[in-house]
């Protein structure tokens, strides 16, 4: 199949054409059939009225022979029952009759008299000549017949009526108009649908072309957003949001890779230098001291790699099933054996989380606070407004307001008293932020005089809290 025929425009246009032609054909057929039924019902009513009028004449004492003088503009036939004989008719009939050919159970039916069965030259045909017209069609005379019996059951009266010629002609004209017009209208609807879809998809083509030109290293570009405020505008806005997230992620990943390589290169270079010097001057260096320094570098590398692995897991981990965890137990586990750290637990706060990850979160916060405090660190746990709250406070130099959000980025090092010191790689608070987000919580630097206060909020496991 040619590619042109597989386009959305063609499919929608063909669907609109087929749907409209089917719908219009069904409606038109219903309208024509309903109008035809109404015309035939009208003819049947006229036939019943004429039959009733002839019965009334016979019941009042008129003889069948008098009917040509009394009944005008009517098609009828009067038949005597015993013995069977035609007493009067209009028009004159040769060997035919208005009586039904088969089923006598119906008091109304349709009868067709062939041209050779009607003799318009007879005197009986004069009274109904205006109804019959100048001649009879080659197909014959199709009439609706109603029959009744006279009051003395001596005669059977058949009265007939033709469908209104003007109404039938109008209906035939409408039928031909619909027969020719429905396909044209359906085709017009298909063309309009094609044009409408083509116009509607024009912004989509612009979006596709722009996306096709955007490369992995040029994610700063954005697709055009139409001002129509429809689904396509929403699609463009969503795609721009996705591109912004990808741009941020790629930029962050590049910076992370660069910083990680730098952080790994420093201890590796130090370790290699020490080993090369030790090998070059084995008798001039203290082997024990050199091995201790190398072990420190290896420990630093191990901690850095462990942090990087954890961050990678947090970035790519699927949502895990969280369980109720008591914050008091997390605080107790993290502060066991630590000096200069005081715990304050209010009530029994319980959150939904992973206990191991929450202990890592609190341990990073306490480690960071202990590196910068002067007298001690305070760790508090409580429940506030449906959240379990962990707070770590120190009395160190504090964090400048302009850096309160930046400190949670990876490999961030401040230039003041909170600069990275022994063994720090700038990943501790980044891990805290990622663990908090993975638990559906938040972390922030709160206002505090004379130090820093980090507040972590986690969804509570108790819906009543």
**pLDDT score of 421:** 45
The string of pLDDT tens digits covering residues 39-98 is: 888 888 888 998 899 889 988 888 888 888 888 888 888 988 888 888 888 888 887 888
Residue 329's CATH number? 3.30.565.10
Asked if 399 and 418 count as a contact pair (C-beta separation under 8 A), the reply is yes
pLDDT at 315 over 70: no
The total of structural domains in the chain comes to 3
Task: Please indicate, yes or no, whether residues 346 and 309 belong to a single structural domain of this protein.
Answer: no
Task: Please indicate, yes or no, whether residues 413 and 297 belong to a single structural domain of this protein.
Answer: no
Task: Please indicate, yes or no, whether residues 53 and 156 belong to a single structural domain of this protein.
Answer: yes
pLDDT at 456 over 90: yes
Report the distance separating Cα 316 and Cα 15, nearest Å.
Answer: 44
Task: Please indicate, yes or no, whether residues 263 and 333 belong to a single structural domain of this protein.
Answer: no
**Is 211 part of any domain?**
no
The alpha carbon dihedral of 379, 380, 381, 384 has a sign of: negative
Task: Please indicate, yes or no, whether residues 295 and 437 belong to a single structural domain of this protein.
Answer: no
Q: Tell the burial category of 9 from Cβ atoms under 10 Å away from its Cβ (0-12, 13-18, 19+).
A: middle
Task: Share the mean pLDDT of the chain.
Answer: 82
Kindly state the tokens that stand for 360: 């890592």
DSSP assignment of 80-91, as one string? ETTTTEEEEEES
SS3 category, 313? helix
**Is 190 part of any domain?**
no
Q: Angle of helix 428-438 relative to helix 287-316, nearest 10 degrees?
A: 30
**pLDDT score of 3:** 60
**pLDDT score of 463:** 54
Task: Please indicate, yes or no, whether residues 141 and 62 belong to a single structural domain of this protein.
Answer: yes
Task: Please indicate, yes or no, whether residues 144 and 261 belong to a single structural domain of this protein.
Answer: no
Nearest to 454 by CA among 383, 361, 384: 361
**Is 365 part of any domain?**
yes
The alpha carbon dihedral of 436, 259, 241, 321 has a sign of: negative
Q: Please indicate whether residue 248 or residue 263 has the higher confidence score (pLDDT).
A: 248
Domain with 355, as residue range(s), is 320-459
Task: Please indicate, yes or no, whether residues 147 and 33 belong to a single structural domain of this protein.
Answer: yes
**Is 201 part of any domain?**
no
Task: Please indicate, yes or no, whether residues 28 and 156 belong to a single structural domain of this protein.
Answer: yes
**pLDDT score of 183:** 92
**Is 176 part of any domain?**
no
The string of pLDDT tens digits covering residues 234-260 is: 888 888 888 888 887 777 777 777 767
Task: Please indicate, yes or no, whether residues 263 and 310 belong to a single structural domain of this protein.
Answer: yes
Task: Please indicate, yes or no, whether residues 287 and 140 belong to a single structural domain of this protein.
Answer: no
Task: Please indicate, yes or no, whether residues 257 and 385 belong to a single structural domain of this protein.
Answer: no
**pLDDT score of 424:** 61
**pLDDT score of 133:** 62
Residue 303's CATH number? 1.10.287.130
- What predicted TM-score, i.e. pTM, was given to this entire model? 0.51
């Amino acid at each position: 199949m040619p590619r042109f025929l597989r386009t959305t425009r063609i499919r929608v246009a063909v669907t609109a054409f087929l749907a409209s032609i089917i719908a219009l054909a069904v409606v038109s057929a219903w309208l024509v059939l309903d109008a035809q039924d109404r015309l035939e019902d009208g003819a049947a009513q006229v036939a019943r009225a004429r039959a009733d009028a002839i019965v009334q004449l016979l019941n009042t004492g008129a003889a069948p022979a008098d009917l040509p003088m009394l009944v005008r503009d009517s098609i009828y036939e009067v038949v005597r029952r015993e013995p069977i004989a035609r007493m009067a008719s209009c028009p004159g009939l040769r060997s035919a009759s208005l009586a039904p050919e088969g089923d006598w159970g119906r008091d109304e039916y349709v009868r067709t008299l062939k041209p050779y069965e009607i003799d318009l030259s007879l005197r009986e045909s004069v009274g109904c000549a205006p109804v019959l017209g100048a001649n009879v069609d080659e197909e014959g005379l199709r009439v609706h017949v109603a029959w009744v019996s006279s009051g003395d059951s001596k005669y059977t009266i058949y009265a007939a009526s033709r469908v209104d010629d003007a109404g039938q002609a109008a209906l035939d004209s409408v039928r031909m108009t619909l027969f020719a017009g429905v396909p044209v209208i359906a085709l017009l609807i298909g063309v309009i649908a094609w044009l409408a879809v083509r116009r509607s998809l024009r912004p989509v083509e612009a979006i596709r072309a722009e996306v096709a030109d955007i490369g992995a290293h040029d994610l700063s570009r954005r697709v055009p957003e139409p001002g129509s405020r429809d689904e396509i505008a929403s699609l463009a806005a969503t795609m721009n949001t996705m591109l912004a997230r990808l741009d941020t992620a790629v930029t962050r990943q590049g910076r992370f890779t660069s910083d990680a390589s730098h952080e790994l290169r420093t201890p590796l270079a130090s370790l290699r230098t020490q080993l090369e010097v030790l090998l070059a001057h084995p008798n001039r260096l203290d082997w024990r001291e050199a091995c201790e320094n190398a072990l420190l570098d290896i420990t630093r590398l191990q901690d850095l790699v462990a942090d990087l692995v954890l961050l990678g897991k947090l970035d790519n981990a699927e949502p895990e099933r969280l369980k109720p965890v008591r914050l008091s137990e997390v605080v107790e586990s993290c502060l066991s054996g630590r000096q200069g750290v005081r715990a304050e637990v209010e009530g029994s706060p319980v959150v939904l989380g992973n206990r191991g990850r929450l202990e890592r979160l609190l341990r990073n916060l306490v480690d960071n606070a202990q590196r910068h405090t002067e007298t001690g660190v305070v760790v508090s746990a409580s429940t506030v407004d449906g959240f379990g709250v962990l707070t770590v406070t120190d009395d160190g130099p504090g964090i400048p307001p302009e850096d309160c959000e930046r400190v949670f980025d990876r490999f961030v090092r401040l230039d003041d008293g909170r600069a990275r010191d022994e063994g720090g790689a700038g990943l501790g608070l980044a891990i805290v932020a990622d663990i908090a987000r993975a638990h559906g919580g938040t972390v922030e630097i709160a206002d505090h005089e004379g130090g820093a206060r980090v507040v972590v909020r986690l969804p509570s496991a108790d819906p009543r809290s």
